[in-house]
Amino acid sequence: MKHKLSWCSIALCVLLAGCARLERDIGGPLDEAVLERVGVGAYYAEILEELGPPTKMSALPDGMVFIYENARITERQYGLILPGEVGKWIKAVYASADADIETLVFVFDAQGRLSSADTEIWNTDAGAGMSLTLLFSTGSFTDTEQYESSPARSLDWGKALTMPPLVSLNGRQSLETGLNGIQLTTSPEAVGQHALELGAE
Amino acid sequence: MREIKPAVVLLSAVLLSSCTSYGSVDGVDNLWREVPVDAFEKGVTTQSQVLDELGPPSQLINLQNQTVFYYLTENTTGKGKIFIFWNSVDAETRYDRAIFFFDTEGVLQEYAFSKEEISR
């Protein structure tokens, strides 16, 4: 009987604390079928006609590259009211997030002709977090900033002056200016060009 | 002990629940949705005419033998439902883009607008 009661009280604590779901869709769905309609040698204007302007683009030494991206982030939160007189006013929340990423890449030669293209769709663990809040909250507790970074970010060029020294020194090779290449939104700092900035924080 | 009536519980649940809605717009004004379709003509329109119609671009990209004007408007909208026991927030970010490619003489070679349109 005592055992049953304790399980009931735990279940009650979870139910009373509540749960939450936060969903964010960034960029809208992509049309992968375009890869069947345009082949190698297609002029870049055909891609623009099919898909509109890319999410990101960059110059390359012998041409340019377009990337189209869509990210759908789902965060689930599970709450638990803590025991005790003070605890009943405090809610412990555990949150975890997943991201569905969709990408289309087009690489063009110096004449603007398509030299290669591909698509990729994958799901990734976007992180987890915990918090203690008063009663309830619907804020995000996972760090999904890398998925949410806006293409308008490069407009904040003035902020570059306040970045850690390693990031500022690497600024001339930035992959966000459209001059030195490009990277997927989900790329971690340990890959390629940004590896120089590891330990900057 | 005084009994709590179901109607009181129901009323409390309704009063304690709430909804929220928010939105934000970032980037440049998407003036390309207002400009007449024939305002931009390949091989004729110049950089200065595009600047005159749309203002400064979000990004100006230097390719080998082309200059690119990239215009971007970002619109985020979200809705939340708060029922105390179950909360839910849905947010959606959409982009309205325009891109213009110019040759070394500053004459328009190609241009395109997003399929998705953010209403002005």
Contact A22 B97 (CB under 8 A): no
Name the minimum distance, in Å, from the CA of B116 to any CA of chain A: 9
Query: What contacts A61, CB < 8 A, 6 or more positions away?
Result: none
Average pLDDT of the segment spanning A52-79? 89
Q: Flag the least confident range among A97-111, A131-145, B13-27, B41-55.
A: A131-145
Given a cut of 90, is residue A112 above it in pLDDT? yes
- What confidence tier does B86 reach under pLDDT thresholds 50, 70, 90? confident
B98 touching A, CB under 8 A? Answer: yes
Query: What contacts B52, CB < 8 A, 6 or more positions away?
Result: none
Average pLDDT of the segment spanning A15-21? 68
Q: How many other C-beta atoms can be found within 10 angstroms of the C-beta atom of residue B101?
A: 22
Rounded Cα distance, A172 and A196, in Å? 12
Pairing type for strands A63-81 and B67-82 reads unpaired
Nearest to B72 among A58, A64, A151 (CB): A151
Name the minimum distance, in Å, from the CA of A75 to any CA of chain B: 10
- Give the ipTM of the model, two decimals please: 0.74
Rounded Cα distance, A7 and A146, in Å? 39
The predicted model scores a pTM of 0.70
Predicted confidence (pLDDT) per residue in B20-35, tens digit: 888 888 888 899 999 9
Question: What pLDDT is attached to residue B64?
Answer: 76
Name the minimum distance, in Å, from the CA of B2 to any CA of chain A: 22
Given a cut of 80, is residue A79 above it in pLDDT? no
Q: Looking at per-residue confidence, does B11 or B53 come out higher?
A: B53
Q: Flag the least confident range among A10-14, A92-96, A140-144.
A: A10-14
Domain boundaries, chain B: 19-113
Average pLDDT of the segment spanning A93-116? 92
